[in-house]
Homo-oligomer: A and B are copies of this chain.
Amino acid sequence: MSQSTPDAAHEAEPLGDPNTHAALRLWVALARAFESVADHARDDLRKQRMSPGEFGVLEMLYHRGPLLLGEIQRRILVSSGGVTFLVDRLAAKGLVERQDCPSDRRARYAALTPAGEKLIRRIFPLHAARIATALGGLSEASQRDLARSLKELGEGAQQRGGKSRGRKRR
């Protein structure tokens, strides 16, 4: 794992502020839920010998077509050097290729090669199914509700300014 999960029990020594206490419990639940599902995702991806970042790039190019490296960076939230590195590796595997940008010679596109397209077309549905299995305990309705709440939570937290790794601060 790449991330340590916060400890679950703060009840031993309750905090003065009940509001903080509720927030902490939510944070723990959020982190644990994320890690549980991420475990499924990572496990599935490892069988394809693919890192989460690599899969993220392939998936994005699959669903959106060729993209500038900077766009990829903002969308999957990796560092600038990280994108270069990911695209390098995918290119070495023959799954992705760089293309020059006609309107701006500083920029480059990344695009799927036929081999990359074939691969992601095959594994994406399997990966999606694995996620669905992980989440399978919840009804479709509560999945929708939860997704809505989480989206609100995420956007709120982002506006309050976390670290903002060069991401659009809209």
Instruction: Give me the interface of A with B, judged by CB distance under 8 Å.
Output: 1-10, 12-13, 15, 17-20, 22-43, 52-53, 55-56, 59-60, 63-64, 75-79, 125, 128-129, 131-138, 140, 142-158, 160, 162-165
Contacts and interface: CB of A to CB of B under 8 A. Distances in A.
B131 A160 contact: no
A135 B32 CA distance: 16
A12 B64 CA distance: 8
A58 B84 CA distance: 35
Contact of A3 (B5, B24, B52, B60): B52
A12 B124 CA distance: 14
A38 to B, nearest CB: 7
Contacts of A56: 4-7
A1 B165 contact: yes
Given A38-B3, A76-B5, A154-B36, A160 B136 contact: yes
